[in-house]
Structures are given as structure tokens and as C-alpha cells.
Amino acid sequence: MFKLFSCSVLLWFPLAVAALEVSITRDTDAIVVMHGDKEITVMRNQDTEAMLAPDFARTSRPCPPFCAQPMQADARVETIGEVELIEFMRTRLKDGSGVLIDARTPDWFQRGTIPGSVNIPFNRLNPAQGADELTLEDSLAVLGVAAAGSGWDFSGAKELVLWCNGPWCGQSPTAIRGLLSIGYPPDKIAYYRGGMQVWLVFGLPVVYPDGRIREE
């Protein structure tokens, strides 16, 4: 799906900064994003001694429910990493053809999210989790999908990346299964398995829903 090549409105600009000690990749130091009306620099924490905040430093959350997730949420859906996610943010979000979905429950979203994400909780995208027709219609409208008789019109469906708390979290896989169950094109869905856990491991920024950067 992806090769290297309330919603927030994203605008990207080239970032002219001195060479950083901690870059995202060898070729990308940082990017500037507009999250709502706030300009945010997406770059890694430059403190080479930085550690994870306590809420994502735990190694042994009870399983169930916090169990290791398969590498693929579904055989038809691509799993991506941080480099591909940054590229998706740089391209698909910029031109409006993609949506980055924080599939966690609102309480998690309120604690902080990946810049540019829209919060659509997993249970609003999966009929098996209680999403009724009105809930689905409201949620799918954000994704470019409209109701069509007894089904759905996916002709305008956007490309999606769904994520949750990390490899131990089942919220985005549950959302993906829900989308597939109603016919969302699998080639327009990607799974960022690393989620918030790995985003934080790389020292990338987290914002509150109003765009304030969360201090770690």
C-alpha cells in the first residue's frame, strides 16, 4: 500500500535547521506540521539520555487484555513502521487522500496522540463491538465512505493508517477487522503496529488533542 516515495488539518513545510545529533532517518532530520492552528516540529528528542515516561515503560501488563499482537492484523493489510508512517504523513495527509486514525478509546486519546491523528475508537468501526448503522455512518464519513442502500459506497474511500498503544494493544487490529467486515478495501488500510509505544521509543513528539505538545 505504502512505498517510500476532531481531525487536524496538516500542512508540511521543509525544515531548515542545523544538523541534528538525533535524526529520524539518515535523510530526514525533522518535519514541520500544522496540527489545528499550531505549528509542530516532528523531530526526535535530542536528549541522548532520555528515557521512556512511566506510562509506557512497563514491561508486564496483564494478558489478557494486553497481549502480544500478530505482526499482521490481517493477511490482506500491510503492516508499516515509523519510516513509512512519516512518509504517509508527508504525502497522503498533506494532499487529503489519507487519514491517520488513533483507534484507542477517548481516555487514551486525551493523554496524548501522534500529531495529525483523528480519534475514531475501535468500537465505532466494528459492528461486532457494538457499532450500529448510525455510528458507522458517522465514523465512515470521515474516511470518505457514504451509505448506499443497505451497504456502503467505498468509491471515495481514503487511504488509512490505524494505530493504538503498541504491539501489546488490540484496539487498532479490532478496528481493522471491523472495517474489513463491512467491505473497506484492504489495499487502502495499513497497520502501524508499533503505535504509541514505539513512537515514544524513537523520541517523537506527542500532542494533546488541542495541539499542545506533551512534555515527557
Instruction: Please give the residue range of the domain that contains residue 152.
Output: 63-201
Q: In this structure, is residue 140 part of a structural domain?
A: yes
Q: In this structure, is residue 173 part of a structural domain?
A: yes
Q: In this structure, is residue 146 part of a structural domain?
A: yes
Q: In this structure, is residue 149 part of a structural domain?
A: yes
Q: What is the CATH number of the domain that holds 114?
A: 3.40.250.10
Residue 74: is its pLDDT beyond 90?
yes
Which residue reads 481516555 in cell numbers? 107
Q: In this structure, is residue 189 part of a structural domain?
A: yes
Q: In this structure, is residue 126 part of a structural domain?
A: yes
Q: What is the pLDDT of residue 37?
A: 78
Q: What is the pLDDT of residue 1?
A: 54
Beta-sheet strands, E only, within 14-163: 30-35, 38-43, 78-80, 98-102, 118-119, 146-148, 151-153, 159-163
Span 186-199, mean pLDDT? 98
Indicate yes or no: pTM above 0.85: yes
Contact criterion met (CB below 8 Å) for 63 and 69: no
The tally of domains found in the chain comes to 1
Q: In this structure, is residue 15 part of a structural domain?
A: no
What's the grid cell of residue 148?
448506499
